[in-house]
Amino acid sequence: MQQKLITLDLDGTTLNNHSQLSPLTIKTLQKATRAGHLVSIVTGRPYRMARDIYDQLQLTTPMANFNGALTHIPHQKWDGEYSMTINKAVVYDLMRHKDDYGIKLLAVENKHSFFADHAAPATFDFFPHEISDDQVLTEKSLRGNPTSITILVEPNSAQFVKNQLLYRYRDYINVGVWGGPHSVLEIVSKGIQKAKAVDYLARYYHIDRQNIIAFGDEHNDAEMLDYVGRGVAMRNATAKIKSIANDITEFDNEHDGVAKYLSEYLDLAN
């Protein structure tokens, strides 16, 4: 079979509802790798929250974090690595206008650094519940431009704040709104989305678009599924994602949807 580039969203897709890889998923993705296909994680997660998953799968391919703002090969130097950053002046301005936007938590990250204005509340697991003094976000501590800005805002206000931020910083940023119980906005450099990372990887490895398979479930996967030759929505995906996709998995993320689909599509059963 022609070599495929397989790009995987993590949450709600490759991971189950406990944010874990199942034994079948690990086994199947490793089979795909041994069969000569390129398996690549393309996630909104920061590197710190995707590294262990990458290692469990024993991958050596590039990974894209922050919805494609950072693309790199973990644990090694890679000449193709890139990071698209946001001018730190945007962060300074947000810090000064926290009350105007109802910002309850402001955090910024790069590949290896994390800063927040304070530790995350116990109910919010995405960020550390304890931070060291040198991780406290100030104009002095933030010396470089961040790859990602994440803000927790007042309940049910995310869309309103998104509109405000896009009006104020429209020439510099893209803003995504998280699904789920928390009102969270994720900010990356203008023009960044997962399809750009996938296109970059395809060009790097000389793989045609029709030989790319992408799996996703949420709004930040839309451009990626639309771009590739075979965009696959999870059974548990949103209606919008299902409408964009070429196919839908028979099983959801809690029942090895990705693994079972790839096993059949790539004939990995033996």
Mapped onto helix, strand or coil, the DSSP state of residue 126 is coil
Give how far the C-alpha of residue 250 lies from the chain's centroid of Cα atoms, to the nearest Å: 23
Candidates 25, 3, 2; CA nearest to 252 is: 25
Question: Looking at this protein, which amino acid is placed at residue 55?
Answer: D
Question: Looking at this protein, which amino acid is placed at residue 215?
Answer: F
The catalytic residue positions are: 9
CB atoms closer than 10 angstroms to residue 208:
10
| The token pair that represents 229 in the structure block | 């030759």
Candidates 31, 74, 41, 84; CA nearest to 216 is: 41
DSSP annotation of 42 reads B
Edge-to-edge strands, sheet with 114-116: 114-116, 103-109, 148-153, 184-189, 173-177
Which helix (DSSP H) or strand (DSSP E) does residue 91 occupy?
helix 88-96
Interatomic CA distance for residues 41 and 247, integer angstroms: 19
Interatomic CA distance for residues 127 and 19, integer angstroms: 15
| Strand pairing report for 230-233 and 247-248 | parallel
Query: How many residues in the chain?
Result: 270
